[in-house]
Amino acid sequence: MLGSSLSYSSVSRTSSYSSVRRPYAAAPHAYRFPFRLSHLYLLVSLAVLLMSWESVRENAAIAPGGIPNEAIRLRILANSDSAVDQAVKRAVRDAVVAEMNGWAAGPQTIEQARAALQARMGDIEAVVARKLQARGFDYGFKAELGLAEFPTKIYGEKVYPAGDYEALRITLGAGDGQNWWCVLFPPLCFVDADSGEAVPKAEAAAAKGGAVQASASVQDGAKTTAAAPAEPGEAPQAKFFVWELLESLFAFLRGLFA
């Protein structure tokens, strides 16, 4: 009788132990985090939403009026269109605008504005140099006050024709990247968002005469930009969309904490 009881107890314990361990041994993969393609789509969608928010935030600063004839602009050209060069351009922009906030609104005439810029050119150059050094960029820069070439751009329902305008131009490195610009005097800010469409030549000529219809310009500008061949001497570059999108997202996030 005693032997029978011990045998029954050992069998019960063994059976119970096996029943507890069996689910873990049967499906160990059930406790791993499954990475699916839908997760990548979610990350890409988040990147698009963040960059769309950045574009809306910048375009919200565009003033509803036009640029006066007597105006001085600020233009900052990035070294290239790479994510890191565009990020440092935005960092330089923020630093320069912060430096000017204390005195840019003071001048009442364009002559006073020129004199103020010339007197503080050394301070502006020091701000740019410090920001580039802090970010670890060893390429140089150039800051100059004079006539600068501006391309035709469309912002919402406004067309700003190309031409040479007086500006404080800050060129970072080679200056081959997209630019940011605003109006220093009078202090109206027009942010040059990266998504601004270039206007076709026929529309640019009409814009100078004041006869451009904004809605048609936006549509035609988008079509022309998509179909236009590369400029002479410029080789078209193949880009991986998802990787470029993620690079832009990382650059945007770094810019938030700069």
Q: Is 237 within the bounds of a domain?
A: no
Q: Is 163 within the bounds of a domain?
A: yes
Backbone angles phi, psi at 73, to 5 degrees: -100, 160
Cα separation values, 186 from 108, 171, 217, Å: 8, 22, 27
Give yes or no for a contact between 177 and 85, defined as CB atoms under 8 angstroms apart: yes
Closest CA to 116 of 155, 91, 145, 153: 145
For residue 148, how far is the Cα from the chain centroid?
23
Name the pTM for this structure. 0.52
Backbone angles phi, psi at 108, to 5 degrees: -100, -15
Query: Helix %, strand %, coil % for the chain, to 5?
Result: 50, 15, 35
Q: Domain limits at 105?
A: 71-195
Q: Is 239 within the bounds of a domain?
A: no
Backbone angles phi, psi at 34, to 5 degrees: -80, 120
Q: What is the model's pLDDT at position 43?
A: 73
Closest CA to 75 of 151, 130, 159: 151
Q: Is 80 within the bounds of a domain?
A: yes
Mean pLDDT by 10 residues, the chain (258 residues): 48 48 49 62 70 48 61 92 94 91 80 91 95 92 92 73 91 92 72 38 44 34 34 37 59 58
Q: Is 169 within the bounds of a domain?
A: yes
Count: domains in the chain: 1
Q: Is 209 within the bounds of a domain?
A: no
Give yes or no for a contact between 184 and 74, defined as CB atoms under 8 angstroms apart: yes
Q: Is 220 within the bounds of a domain?
A: no
Residue 150: partners with Cβ closer than 8 Å, 6 or more residues away: 73, 75, 160, 162, 163, 164, 165, 167, 181
Q: Is 75 within the bounds of a domain?
A: yes
